[in-house]
Amino acid sequence: MAEGQDKPIGEMSFEEALRALEVTVRRLESGDVPLDESIELYERGEELRKACQARLDAAQAKIDKIVSDSEGKPTGTAPFDAEG
């Protein structure tokens, strides 16, 4: 496996997970991978995709929670899970 491919997904940054997903997809698309390994790659790819999507969703939620003043100017951010 490529470097970083065996690192736990939960320990990866978004960028690491995205790169690992790209490598996984390229390997699957190559058609040179035995069936059993293809299944393992597909499963890991799906977990990487979910991890990337969750991080993107969290970032979008944080962006959506930008606090504005009375003139509509951003004044900061509020955590997504904050009561508001």
Successive 10-residue mean pLDDT values, the chain, 84 residues: 69 96 96 95 96 94 72 68 54
Residue 17 lies in a domain: yes
With 0.75 as the threshold, say if the pTM is over it: no
The two three-digit tokens of residue 30, written as one number: 């190559």
Residue 23 lies in a domain: yes
Q: Residue 29 belongs to a domain with what CATH number?
A: 1.10.287
Residue 1 lies in a domain: no
Indicate the helix (H) or strand (E) that contains 15.
helix 14-30
Q: Domain range holding 25? A: 9-77
Residue 39 lies in a domain: yes
Residue 2 lies in a domain: no
What pLDDT does 34 receive? 96
Return the residue matching tokens 């929670």. 65
Q: Is 60 exposed, middle or buried (0-12, 13-18, 19+ CB in 10 A)?
A: exposed
What pLDDT does 79 receive? 64
Contact 24, 50 (CB under 8 A): no
Domain count along the chain: 1
CA distances to 60, 76, 80 from 72, rounded to whole Å, are 19, 12, 19
